[in-house]
Amino acid sequence: MAVNWAGLIGIFACVAGIFIGKFQKGLYLPLPHPANVPVQYMDPDNLPKFGQLEGVYAPNENLRKAIKLFEGKVQGSESVAVAKDGSLYMLDKFGFVWRAPRNAAGSYDLEQEPLAHMGSGRPLGFHFDAEENLIVCMAGAGLVMLEKDSGKVVLLTARVSADDPVAPGSTIDYINDVAIASNGIIYFTDSVEGIMPVKNAQGFWDTMAAFMLSLFNGRASGRLLSYNSETRKTHVVAQDIWFANGVTLSKDESFVAVVETNMQRVHRVWLSGPKAGQREVLVDQLPGFPDGITTSSSGSFWVGLVVPQQPIIAWLENRYVRWVAAWLPANIKPPVLQWGGVAEISAEGEPIQALYDSEGIHVRSISAVTESENRLFFGNLAEDYVSYIEKPEAGQ
């Protein structure tokens, strides 16, 4: 018999509400380990709103044409970086760096042994800098660099500088994605305060469990940070983002685009011009949960829509639903709905096209998109492969 999980959670919440409803804003509702923050009250006027699967976002099966690479060999590489020589670089969930040079047939040959190990933490977003050092967000550890020439792993930063005017000395609990400006400034996201991924029984840092706790927490505590490699200073650029995730620079580097996953939107933080320092919504009501974001060759943005809308979203307003859902044993928690999804958004925030595998039959859990040589490479946070397709033109 099918279980109506939303209804079951609602019943638990209603029972709790009978006894403690008058404390909606004030009652302390703790979250399970590793969260060091409680469930927060949420303003009903500031809840996430999904876009409809219509118009540009209408369903299709274009991602079923994707070519899978290294299936069963590369597990949980959130992104794919393409080196100047065309080689693919992937970082699996255990922290190993894999390289796959391009072959004469136009495909890729995965090297038999990993190139390096990044040390403690879970690799999430990563990109090459101008010298082809690999800059990596290691959730649970900090912003690190794999030096091209020496192969050393160097910690760049794990906390905000003491002279920062916003949050001096604060720790970076959940570093997530990175973008590197032409002047060497590194922009990166700290997804949530007080919830750090921890190593699980399978031997890797469980960022998904920490993400779910951030969703149940309900507080917009994510930040956009910057690291200056010359001064070695780390500063807060923007804050109060409900799970700050993917980050990229506009083609002219006039602004940083940063994903707010739990609100299904992307912000624009201006770096120059008359609006320098200001933040505004670039695109709202995406049709799924956005994860990584990258800039295309034309100046548009590719957004990985890692999972579709989830039934639990309809219950987020109620603190008790979020509290009960957080404490449910893993074996009875409702499954996360899956698909393969990416969207292309213009620099002005207008949707251009969306690509799907609507049921996740062939590819799913696409967390980031990298465009290179007319191909789109898809990172995959949850599965044991990466994939790519030839870049489609909008409307095809």
Q: Where are the domains of the chain?
A: 5-44+56-390
DSSP code of 18?
Answer: H
Per the document, the length of the chain is 396
Report d(CA 62, CA 174) in Å as an integer.
33
- Do 37 and 193 meet the contact criterion of CB atoms below 8 Å apart? yes
Specify the pLDDT at position 8: 52
At 22, list the tokens.
Answer: 């008058």
The answer on pLDDT for 33 being more than 90 is yes
φ, ψ (nearest 5 deg) of residue 326: -65, -30
Specify the pLDDT at position 316: 85
Report d(CA 8, CA 2) in Å as an integer.
12
DSSP code of 33?
Answer: T
The answer on pLDDT for 2 being more than 90 is no
* Average pLDDT for the chain: 93
CATH topology of domain 5-44+56-390: Neuraminidase (2.120.10)
Helix (H) or strand (E) segment spanning residue 326: helix 319-327
Report d(CA 168, CA 160) in Å as an integer.
6
Residue 148's identity, in one-letter code, is K
Segment 116-130, tens digit of pLDDT: 999 999 999 999 999
Q: Which range (275-289, 322-336, 350-364) has the least confidence?
A: 322-336
**Residue for token pair 């994510």:** 222
